[in-house]
Amino acid sequence: MTRKRRRLYFVLLGLLGLGAGTALMLTAFQDNIVFFFSPSEVAARHIAPQQRFRVGGLVETGSVVKNGENVSFAVTDMSATLKVQYQGLLPDLFREGQGIVAEGRMGPDGIFVAHEVLAKHDENYMPREVADALKKSGRWQEGEGKSTPHPTTATE
């Protein structure tokens, strides 16, 4: 029994140590693992003007202004809003109310200049008719899923 027992404890202890080490490392590198900041975090963190970063949130309803290839819109996390300027192709899912992630830099006028805009979609899957019926009855709104970025996720 002893050798097998010893190997069992060795493997269990090894996994425990490995898990603890990994957890510590992931916590330490939290900021690098997070894919984007919410507008509130952007406001709270003093990001250097030339630093590239990503901001994520919902496209504010009524904020999209298209001018040929130039688009300007606002990204919101419901508590803070950031204006974004972008030139280029937008993904098919881009619309008002949609979750998006934009990568770029802060401009001098406080407007975020994006080089790339990606659409985020939530975990809700349903046919058109079901979505319409749910919306009509007021039981659900687009962009309401739990994937909606909230300011607490990254600061925990």
Partner 1 sequence: MGASVGQGWNFDVHRFANPTQFMRIANAIFPWAAGLSALLFVVGLPIALVTSPADYQQGETVRIFYLHAPAAYMCMMVYGIMAVGSAAYLIWRHPMANLVARASAPLGAIFTALCLICGMLWGQPMWGTFWVWDARLTSTLILFFLYLGYIALGDAFEDPERGDKAAAILALVGSVNLPIIKFSVDWWNTLHQPSIMSKKGFSVDAGMLLPLFLMLGAFITFYIAVLILRLRSELLAAKIRNARLSQVAVNHAPQAAE
Where on the chain is the footprint of partner 1 (CB under 8 A)?
A: 1, 4, 7-8, 11, 14-15, 18-19, 22, 26, 30, 33-36, 38, 56, 89-94, 101, 116-132, 142, 145-147, 149, 153-154
Select 110 or 127, whichever has its Cβ closest to partner 1: 127
Q: Which two tokens stand for residue 83?
A: 């204006």
CA distance 6 to 4: 5
Q: Which two tokens stand for residue 2?
A: 């002893």
How far apart are CB 35 and partner 1 at their closest, in Å?
A: 4
Of 87, 37, 80, nearest in space to 60 by CA: 80
Q: Which two tokens stand for residue 47?
A: 């990001």
Total residue count of the chain as it appears in this document: 156
How far apart are CB 68 and partner 1 at their closest, in Å?
A: 19
Select 104 or 149, whichever has its Cβ closest to partner 1: 149
How far apart are CB 140 and partner 1 at their closest, in Å?
A: 11
C-alpha 26: how far from chain center: 18
